[in-house]
């Protein structure tokens, strides 16, 4: 069964959510993990890039920069509560 871009995006989101606050993940970290996880089902770098783009465009994840670009969940500001 072929894997879809949306399934990859959901798996990436869960991975980012799991390590939020403990570790920062780069786009390549997510891509390598997904190719390793779904490689035999047709997952490639192009699909992973599209999945990351959909996560960013839908505001489920954001890019942050601390000496390198990382993908994280959006932060909630203290005044937003």
Q: 36-61 pLDDT, tens per residue?
A: 998 878 888 999 999 999 999 999 99
Domain that holds residue 57: 5-80
**In angstroms, how far is CA 76 from the centroid of its own chain?**
18
User: How many CA atoms lie less than 13 Å away from 45 in the CB half-sphere?
Assistant: 4
CA distance 57 to 3: 20
Task: Place 81 in a pLDDT band, splitting at 50, 70 and 90.
Answer: low
For the chain, what is the domain count?
A: 1
Q: Residue 1 pLDDT more than 70?
A: no
Q: Tell me what the pLDDT averaged over the chain comes to.
A: 90
| pLDDT-above-70 percentage for the chain | 94
Q: What is the CATH number of the domain that holds 17?
A: 1.10.10.10
Question: What number is the average pLDDT over the span 21-39?
Answer: 93
């Amino acid at each position: 069964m072929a894997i879809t871009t949306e399934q990859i995006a959901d798996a990436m989101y869960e991975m980012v959510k799991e390590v939020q606050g403990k570790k920062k993940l780069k786009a390549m970290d997510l891509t390598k993990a997904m190719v390793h996880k779904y490689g035999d089902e047709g997952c490639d770098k192009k699909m992973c890039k599209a999945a990351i783009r959909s996560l960013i465009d839908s505001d489920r994840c954001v890019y942050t920069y601390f000496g390198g670009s990382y993908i994280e969940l959006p932060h909630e500001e203290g005044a937003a509560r």
